[in-house]
Amino acid sequence: MGDISTGQETQVPTPQHLHGGCSKVPSQSLFYASGVALSGWRWRQCGLTSNVEWNACMHSKPTTEIFTDLLDAKQIPDPFLDENEKLVQWVGESDWEYACDFTHNAANAHAFQDLVFDGLDTIASVYLNDELILESTNMFHAHRINVTGKLHDGLNSLRITFHSALKYGKDRQKRHGHYRSFNGDHSRMHVRKAQYHYGWDWGPVLMSCGPYREVRLESYAAQINNIFVDPQLSCDLQQANVSVSFDAAIDQDVEVNVCITSPSSVRYHSTAIVLKSETHGLLSLTIPTPELWYPIGHGAQVFYTADIKLKASSGTILQSTTKKMGIRRVRLVQNPLEDQPGSSFYFEVNNNPVYSCGANWIPGHSFLTSMTDADYTAALTALADSNQNMIRVWAGGIYEPDIFYEECDRLGILVWQDFMFACGRYPCYPEFAASVKKEAVDQVLRLRNFCSIIVYAGNNEDYCIAENLKLDWDIDDNSGDWTSTNFPARTIYETYLPSIIAKYSPSVPYHPGSPWGGNGTEDPTVGDTHQWNVWHGSQEKYQLWDKLVSRFVSEFGMLGFPSVKTINKFVTDPKQRYPQSSVLDHHNKADGSERRLALYVMENLRVNAMDLESWVYATQLMQAECLSFAYRSCRREWRGPRREYCGGNLVWQLNDCWPTQSWSLIDFYGDRKLAYYAIKRVSANLSLGINRTTPELKALKGPPEKITDPPHDLSFKTYIFDIWAVNMTLDNFDAKIEVRLFDIITGALVEEKHLPLCSLAANRTTELAADLAVLQTTAIQARMLTPDGVVVARASDWPQPLKYVMLPCASDMGITLTVMDGLVEIRSESPVKCLQLYLPDESRNDVIWEDNGADVFPGDVYVIKALGLEEGDDVRMRFYGSS
């Protein structure tokens, strides 16, 4: 393994040229991709015999990895099915080898040749024609290796040995000490590999390896890379000063031409001469009254096009590159508040305050090369379609490929980008620190051109680990070097990473970690928090979410089962298809989840049956209810200037990396849980909120002899409710509010209220009414209407917990469905809780419900659109109390 055994990462010396070899460039380009992507990979296991036969990859993709190749060759069972994960652990404990051949025509080649590696997973020794040219120990590094003079004229061979990352980590652990982690083998602290590969509380242990990003041969006479088109927008938004910087590898004086074209086809030009002795270049130009990029819901997503040409003195074009550029100004606002302690925490884009409503993203697959561009587009489009505007790239996964950020740019999704440190006490010895610095530079140089990225965060919950383990964390110690303490990674989060951001992407805010508030991780008045006292922690009732809101809730969630259709795909034995089966338990990686899930279901819902279909519906209904309470409570606290008591909420989590029971809104096979639709309704730009409360027991305020515990309080309770409206648009909105109270058993209209016509202020919440009396046998429906009577929003509220609600017989509720092309009309004579539409034919993948699981009330026709639905389709329903 060469220098890998010492923890060093090396690029084997190659002949120097131009500016002293490409290794002198601060980081190699992950963007510019001229030349040929190598493919035709073959693979084999190392260490069995000296003459192990090669296996050809059964695909022609330029990227691959060992698990998918073993699956294609039918040499392992599918780890996603049943309990097969247990049978493939030997894969991660083994060493593997990949190779491919390529041709080089010396007569037609340019003067210089580089082999470019966009990502190797993870502990890799690279040989060109049996000569060692690179050793890499970091999955997140990119490498550009000058191979000029090393290529054969004709056939060449590239071979990469991937050593077991698990064994490598164990060796590092022996050398540098034991560093504790939560989730996964503790040795992962020493290995710069996707941390979720070691297993998480929603994912399996599948330690893959291989060339998971492209390997390219680039041939050139002159080249510029690490191109950064950086528009600095003035405070008044009236002028953008654009700088175009780059690294140069040239052996002659060249001319660099930049032409930036606006969305309305106005062109701006700049030209510079770069001398052959120079290794960097910079051009500048000014764009007056620029057209701006906005997040979804706040404006259009418009882009400028930057065409960059490198010309020889003869006029020959040596290189041509095109980049998109979105112009926007971003601030993380942490200001004092009007009448609450602490400070705000929200993002401002182009001087507009933005409430961040979104989700956390984990890698979309345990086998990264299985993710397609279409997969990324589908997942992110689903997020945008659910009225959410932010995605957090969580720190235990990967820095996602360009297509992820391109789609966020296109859709107007804001990106919270973590650095890849999650749930552990990381080391900071010299070799590790050097690797981390290069990782950060490589990735920031790649990501800085994406306008959707509006914040970098140093880690996920590592400060929580420091608190939990009682590490040396003196907040008043600002020395900047904590490598000699038992919390050495603080140096990474508070010194190395912010300095790299300041140098390479200064317009994007940096946050040391998540959660982090500057004075611990649980202060609800400063910074962001992870609110896990629903599910984890003190396991609070989710109806009390209004007491759990902080300035920015960047994690919270509730577990729910995937669809029965999804379960049937990964549980192959029909006898195992029941809620407590060993296979389903194996696929649930959350410690203690069965008890916690049962607690929240039984505490809140009436459970009449425990068959799989009933349990899936119950867990999904409970998850939807919980997250609705959370979203409503958080958004209610966005109250306008200097009253931004909550600036955002990011649910854990949008997606899954394998078929599992988890906190996701969308399961592994793409089925949307009831919570997805509940969040979509609550997160609409125009929405209503209702909160039903029980006043405090008067005895609690009386003399001690009158204080009693809740189970023995026999007093009659008066229930009241509040109602508020959310207007997240940028214009005031005139609305009529209608409130109707229905008897749940009879369906009779008990009371109807019409609030005076009101003007809902833009980009904030407006309180409409408070302390309205309500009987505990009634369900409440509120509707927001335009002045001319068009319904634009609905909300409902039911007595809590739902398990106490007395319901009529399902056959007496008078529910009718009218199925038409592209939609279903729902009518009911009684209030209905969480009516879910579905097709019994599991082979139907062509119907996408735009809404589902809604509450339906008498006198209000509820319409659900469904892409691909046809009149005559067998649409069925289930609802709370239907079984």
* pLDDT per position as a tens digit, 365-396: 999 999 999 999 999 999 999 999 999 999 99
Whose structure tokens read 């979104």?
A: 358
pLDDT at 697 over 80: no
Of all residues in the chain, the percent with pLDDT exceeding 70 is 93
pLDDT at 841 over 70: yes
Burial (CB < 10 A; 0-12, 13-18, 19+), residue 91, is buried
Mean pLDDT value across residues 865-878: 96
Mean pLDDT value across residues 50-69: 93
pLDDT at 25 over 70: no
Element housing 651 (H / E): strand 648-651
Residues 157, 329: Cα–Cα separation, whole Å:
48
pLDDT in tens, 77-109: 999 999 999 999 999 999 999 999 999 998 888
Give me the chain's average pLDDT, please. Answer: 93
Q: Worst-scoring range by mean pLDDT, 142-151, 269-278, 333-342, 426-435?
A: 269-278
Residues 866, 129: Cα–Cα separation, whole Å:
57
pLDDT at site 243: 96
pLDDT at site 35: 80
Report whether 414 contacts 352 (CB < 8 A): no
Q: How many residues does the chain have?
A: 883
User: Which of the four pLDDT bands, split at 50, 70 and 90, describes residue 215?
Assistant: very high
pLDDT at site 20: 28
Please name which of 698, 589, 687 lies closest in space to residue 631, comparing C-alpha atoms. Answer: 687
Query: Is 555 assigned a catalytic role?
Result: no
Mean pLDDT value across residues 408-416: 99
- Better-predicted residue by pLDDT, 714 or 412: 412
pLDDT at 310 over 60: yes
Largest CA distance in the chain: 100
HEC letters along 109-132: CCCEEEEEECCCECEEEEEECCEE
What would the two tokens of residue 168 be? 């490598």
Mean pLDDT value across residues 219-248: 95
What would the two tokens of residue 601 be? 């279901």
Mean pLDDT value across residues 595-621: 96
Torsional sign, CA 382, 387, 389, 393: negative
pLDDT at 566 over 90: yes
Mean pLDDT value across residues 726-740: 98
Looking at CATH, the fold of the domain delimited by 810-883 is given as Immunoglobulin-like (2.60.40)
Fold match between 222-325 and 684-806? yes
Looking at CATH, the fold of the domain delimited by 222-325 is given as Immunoglobulin-like (2.60.40)
User: Which of the four pLDDT bands, split at 50, 70 and 90, describes residue 296?
Assistant: very high
Calculate the CA dihedral of residues 730, 731, 734, 738 and round it to 10 degrees: 0
Q: Which residues pair with 622 in a beta bridge?
A: none
User: Which of the four pLDDT bands, split at 50, 70 and 90, describes residue 717?
Assistant: confident
pTM for the predicted model, two decimal places: 0.94
Please name which of 241, 245, 244 lies closest in space to residue 287, comparing C-alpha atoms. Answer: 241
Mean pLDDT value across residues 7-26: 36
- Better-predicted residue by pLDDT, 24 or 5: 5
Report whether 285 contacts 268 (CB < 8 A): yes
pLDDT at 232 over 70: yes
User: Which of the four pLDDT bands, split at 50, 70 and 90, describes residue 29?
Assistant: very low
pLDDT at site 427: 98
Q: Which residues pair with 751 in a beta bridge?
A: 741
Mean pLDDT value across residues 448-468: 98
Decide: helix, strand or coil at residue 301: coil
User: Which of the four pLDDT bands, split at 50, 70 and 90, describes residue 18?
Assistant: very low
pLDDT in tens, 612-658: 999 999 999 999 999 999 999 999 999 999 999 999 999 999 999 99
Q: Worst-scoring range by mean pLDDT, 9-18, 170-179, 608-617?
A: 9-18
Q: Which CATH class is domain 2-219?
A: mainly beta
User: Which of the four pLDDT bands, split at 50, 70 and 90, describes residue 591?
Assistant: confident
pLDDT at site 251: 86
Domain boundaries, the chain: 2-219, 222-325, 684-806, 810-883
pLDDT at 33 over 70: no
User: Which of the four pLDDT bands, split at 50, 70 and 90, describes residue 520?
Assistant: confident
Torsional sign, CA 170, 23, 142, 126: negative
pLDDT at site 699: 40
pLDDT at 710 over 90: no
User: Which of the four pLDDT bands, split at 50, 70 and 90, describes residue 870?
Assistant: very high
pLDDT at 581 over 80: yes
pLDDT at 5 over 60: no
Q: Worst-scoring range by mean pLDDT, 339-343, 386-390, 702-706?
A: 702-706
Say if residue 515 is preceded by a cis peptide, omega within 30 of 0: yes
Please name which of 773, 764, 788, 766 lies closest in space to residue 739, comparing C-alpha atoms. Answer: 773
Residues 158, 713: Cα–Cα separation, whole Å:
77
pLDDT at site 226: 94
Helix 402-411 to helix 373-385 angle (10° resolution) is 30
pLDDT at site 50: 66
Amino acid letter for position 12? V
Whose structure tokens read 């041509």?
A: 320
Report whether 125 contacts 211 (CB < 8 A): no
684-806: CATH architecture: Sandwich (2.60)
pLDDT at site 707: 53
For residue 739, the Cα-to-chain-centroid distance in whole angstroms is 37
pLDDT at site 703: 54
pLDDT at site 695: 55
Which of 65, 85, 97, 461 is catalytic? The answer is 461
pLDDT at 418 over 80: yes
Residues 267, 197: Cα–Cα separation, whole Å:
47
